[in-house]
Amino acid sequence: MNNMNLNFQVNLQGIIDLLSNHLYSDPGVFVRELLQNGVDAVTARKRLGHQTEGKVSVELFPSSHTISFMDNGIGLTQTEIEQFLARIGSTTKQADQDSADDFIGQFGVGLLSCFVMSDEIVLITRSALEGDSLEWRGKPDGTYVINKLQRTVPIGTTVFLKMKPEYEEYAEWYKMYELLERYGKYLETPIVLTEDKDSRLINDSTPPWRMDKPEAIAYIEDSEYDKPMDIIPLKSLIGEVEGIAYILPYAVSLQEEKRHKVYLKRVLLSDKMTNILPSWAFFVNGIINTNSLRPTASRESFQENDLFYLVRDELGACIKQYLMDLASANPDLFHRMVIIHYASLKTMAAEDEELYELFIRHLSFETSYGDMKMGDILREHKTIMVTSTFDEFRQVARVAKAQGMMVINGGYVHDLDLVRKLPTVDENVQVSVLDILSFSSRFESLKQSERDEVQPFLMLSDQLLANYQCQTLIKWFEPADIPVLFNINQEVNFFKMMEESEKEANPLFAEVVHVIKDELYEKPYARLCFNYNNPIVRKAIASGDAKLQRTCIELLYTQALLMGNHPLSGHELRLMNDSLLEFMNMGLDRNAEASR
């Protein structure tokens, strides 16, 4: 077959535009594709039983801005050349479905990337299966020529690329060396870069997943400029995966995008893959090599099929097992890791039962007794209450401690769920979610004679505070210097907000709010608990002066709102001002009377 001028059966220029603008993130991926083609060809030849040392040679011709990639692999027959051209005309989906060992299919997809960089591709090949030396020349306009050469070339394949003007730097030593090292430094097949008489072997490095722990730590420290806390070996038999995960020496945001470095058959596929490890593994970065996972069309990530998810689960299991072993083998390192990666480990514990049991006693929580590790909480308390929000915890923390109650702030991310699961690790502990409006009912009740004494005072306070959606009670509690305890939940706040909206809205909207408020909800009430242990409350009750009691109730209510950082409505602000002025007038009047 000589000088046959043919055309691709597809719009090749459109495919090239798709590759350059949408599929490949970096035009330099053509180096990865040609390396992979060369290594796959060497592997295919070895399977034939040929005793030859595989090699991929890259040569630069700077004066003409040309590059050659030569391998001594299996080569291509005329039928195979036609076959990979047919693959160029096939759909991306079809290419994705090819077996990972389908050399011809991958060769055709890989060669496409070269059209992004070059105005012409020249391929010279001789197959180990047939004796003909063939030349194929293709152009981005969709034309190509196949020639049978008169001279005999070595078994293998050579690809010549003449760089487009905007990509000429890729034919220079510094750029090509950088790309060859980036993609191929861990390949077992020797990769040699040559320019004139200068030659250099690219891949003489041991890959990180084959290093021992001290070597891997030194490698990470040198390449990432951070010394990892430790190295976790990763292995998945089903996916033919081996790798390492290194524990970051600093805390990371839960929203921070992970950038794991992943190799396919030792060729770098991506250094910013986000999903090869489980989402809960925020605290590690991975360096992973696989032989079995299938790449997507862009060959920059993997197809997320059943095998992919099984492999990810296996790698996650490696990390879990490491953590379980570390807790007993190196408790100091385990403790440091918990401190640094507290937020990540909380997320892990919330999502996984095994990790929950491992970590929960080492995690700290805000309690009515201050910050405490859960292990200490469980040793000292078997009855635990947890609040749903920050605000609820703030309302009761000081009083709860004085009553000897263990209350944990469940307002932080995951803390409510973590605390509620405590009975799964300690069957003797009782956990309840605190009902903030019934909290004061846990305090010591008054004697019958005391209840009779305070009843008129309570009736007056309920009457005065009904308009503010608040009901009152009197209990005996510590500390004595707190005269009242005000408790409110989100439902009461929401209802009060609707009432304010109803008053200020236009008639139509006010009617809608009225229907929602009065017909769909039962009106909730906040709680104001007077402390019978407080001297001021005792004096107000004993005074028997309704006017003085009214002023005291109004002042104690509004002061409780201020002290609890609760927002005051316009009516509550006026109530506070009026009662404060009334109280001042009472004092001044009595002082004037005493002076006469």
Burial of 563 (0-12, 13-18, 19+ CB in 10 A): exposed
**Nearest to 286, CA basis, from 274, 298, 294:** 274
What is the distance of C-alpha 178 from the center of its chain?
A: 31
Beta-strand relationship, 143-148 and 133-138: antiparallel
Helix (H) or strand (E) holding 486: strand 484-487
**pLDDT at site 531:** 96
What is the 3-class SS of 403-440, one letter each residue?
CCCEEECCCCCCHHHHHHCHHHCCCCCEEEECCHHHHH
Sheet holding 133-138, edge to edge: 4-7, 143-148, 133-138, 118-126, 156-163, 66-71, 56-61, 191-195, 198-201
Angle made by CA atoms 252, 412, 276, in degrees to the nearest 5: 35
Q: What class has domain 208-330?
A: alpha beta
Question: Which contacts (CB < 8 Å, 24+ apart) does range 54-59 have?
Answer: 54/189, 54/190, 55/189, 55/190, 55/192, 56/184, 56/187, 56/189, 56/190, 56/191, 56/192, 57/192, 57/194, 58/176, 58/180, 58/191, 58/192, 58/193, 58/194, 59/193, 59/194, 59/195
Token output for 334: 């385990």
Token output for 317: 């299991």
Task: Say how many C-beta atoms besides its own lie within 10 A of residue 518's C-beta.
Answer: 12
Residues of the chain with CATH 3.40.50.11260: 336-440
How far apart (Å, rounded) are the C-alpha atoms in residues 9 and 103? Answer: 22
Q: What class has domain 4-201?
A: alpha beta
Handedness of CA 104, 105, 108, 109 (dihedral sign): negative
How far apart (Å, rounded) are the C-alpha atoms in residues 172 and 191? Answer: 17
Residues of the chain with CATH 3.30.230.80: 208-330
CB 160 within 8 A of CB 122: yes
**pLDDT at site 521:** 59
How far apart (Å, rounded) are the C-alpha atoms in residues 37 and 518? Answer: 73
CATH 1.20.120.790 fits domain 444-489+524-595 = yes
66 Cβ neighbours under 8 A, 6+ residues apart: 60, 160, 161, 162, 163, 171
20 Cβ neighbours under 8 A, 6+ residues apart: 27, 116
> pTM of the entire structure?
0.73
Token output for 108: 């055709």
**pLDDT at site 88:** 54
**pLDDT at site 103:** 47
As a whole number of Å, the CA-based R_g of the chain is 38
How far apart (Å, rounded) are the C-alpha atoms in residues 185 and 565? Answer: 61
**Nearest to 267, CA basis, from 238, 290, 246:** 290
Residues of the chain with CATH 1.20.120.790: 444-489+524-595
- b/e for 171-204, b at 16 or more Cβ within 10 A? beeebbbebbbebbbbbebbbbbebeeeeeebbe
Query: For the residues of 302-337, what is the DSSP string, one character each?
Result: B--SHHHHHHHHHHHHHHHHHHHHHHHH-HHHHHHH
What is the distance of C-alpha 431 from the center of its chain?
A: 29
**pLDDT at site 596:** 62
Angstrom distances, CA of residue 471 to CA of 298, 437, 451, 526, 554? 66, 10, 16, 6, 13
Architecture per CATH, domain 336-440, reads as 3-Layer(aba) Sandwich (3.40)
Handedness of CA 242, 248, 251, 257 (dihedral sign): negative
CB 465 within 8 A of CB 529: no
Token output for 592: 């004037």
How far apart (Å, rounded) are the C-alpha atoms in residues 282 and 217? Answer: 19
CB 494 within 8 A of CB 522: no
What is the distance of C-alpha 294 from the center of its chain?
A: 24
Low-confidence ranges of the chain (pLDDT < 70): 1-25, 84-110, 142, 254, 298, 493-521, 594-596
CB 78 within 8 A of CB 111: no
- b/e for 315-329, b at 16 or more Cβ within 10 A? bbebbbebbeebbee
